[in-house]
Chains A and B, each alone.
Chain A
Amino acid sequence: GENVGLHLPTLSVQEGDNSIINCAYSNSASDYFIWYKQESGKGPQFIIDIRSNMDKRQGQRVTVLLNKTVKHLSLQIAATQPGDSAVYFCAERKAAGNKLTFGGGTRVLVKP
């Protein structure tokens, strides 16, 4: 999917640096949060998830932090690589089933 959102915030990061992408979610009843990565011409790809009973979860080079007090979610990417250039979306779900509410997305550009 070519995401050509007119108002997508953009994060420019130097290759090798760490990236932090932030997301404010809307529903305090949401119990599950996910980060997706979308590259040009592709659908969203699952990166990492976290349940509401946790505040941190780590994956390979990625960490998700959840602050329920201020309804804030962040994705940290360690040692950002050119292949990390994409649009990143946070999503929340408040009940069983697959009705996800997505954030607006952040475009990450990795400079060599």
Chain B
Amino acid sequence: KAGVTQTPRYLIKTRGQQVTLSCSPISGHRSVSWYQQTPGQGLQFLFEYFSETQRNKGNFPGRFSGRQFSNSRSEMNVSTLELGDSALYLCASSLGGSATNEKLFFGSGTQLSVL
């Protein structure tokens, strides 16, 4: 079955603009998480959505937001872009159950460059 799909693959924006990234989870997966990856900070958790509700949130400013639709697809939005928002944004999906060892599957990411 198809893996986690993220679109677009690459994005170039300028400071002050906003951006929306999209993620389609693996079929049957109800949880979608977003991570930011940068050379300086590594991989950092942004937020997780399950059944259209935010279940967990990382330590990012309110400019970063997300949502999940009834088909489990998710979008994240970054408003008022800053140069430091340049990063690879990764989406991950899982079944969404409460098992401690539930596996997380990542997409290939959206590379965002802010000029």
Q: Which of B13-21, B63-71, B77-85, B90-98 contacts A (4 or more CB under 8 A)?
A: B90-98
A90 to B98, CA, bound (A): 21
* Inter-chain contact B48/A43, CB cutoff 8 Å: no
* Inter-chain contact B43/A98, CB cutoff 8 Å: no
**Residue-wise interface mask of A (16-37) relative to B, using a CB-CB cutoff of 8 A (1 in contact, 0 not):** 0000000000000001101010
**Residue-wise interface mask of B (94-115) relative to A, using a CB-CB cutoff of 8 A (1 in contact, 0 not):** 1000111111111111010000
Name the contact of B90 in the complex, choosing from A5, A44, A46 (C-beta under 8 A): A44
A62 within 8 A of B: no
Interface of A is mostly: loop
A54 to B65, CA, bound (A): 37
**How many residues belonging to A are interface residues under a CB distance threshold of 8 Å?**
31
Q: How many A-B residue pairs have CB under 8 A?
A: 81
Specify the chain A residue showing the minimal Cβ separation from B47: A99
Interface residues of B in 31-85 (CB under 8 A from A): 31, 33, 35, 37, 39-40, 42-45, 48, 50, 55-56, 58
Q: Which residues of B contact A5 (CB under 8 A)?
A: 39-40, 42
* Inter-chain contact A97/B56, CB cutoff 8 Å: yes
Q: Which residues of B contact A6 (CB under 8 A)?
A: 39-40
* Inter-chain contact B42/A99, CB cutoff 8 Å: no
* Inter-chain contact B108/A42, CB cutoff 8 Å: yes
Interface residues, chain B, with chain A CB atoms under 8 Å away: 4, 31, 33, 35, 37, 39-40, 42-45, 48, 50, 55-56, 58, 88, 90, 92, 94, 98-109, 111
15 more contacts with CB within 8 A, not counting A31-B100, A96-B99, are A1-B88, A1-B109, A36-B106, A43-B107, A43-B108, A45-B106, A46-B105, A89-B42, A93-B100, A96-B98, A97-B55, A98-B48, A98-B102, A99-B56, A100-B104
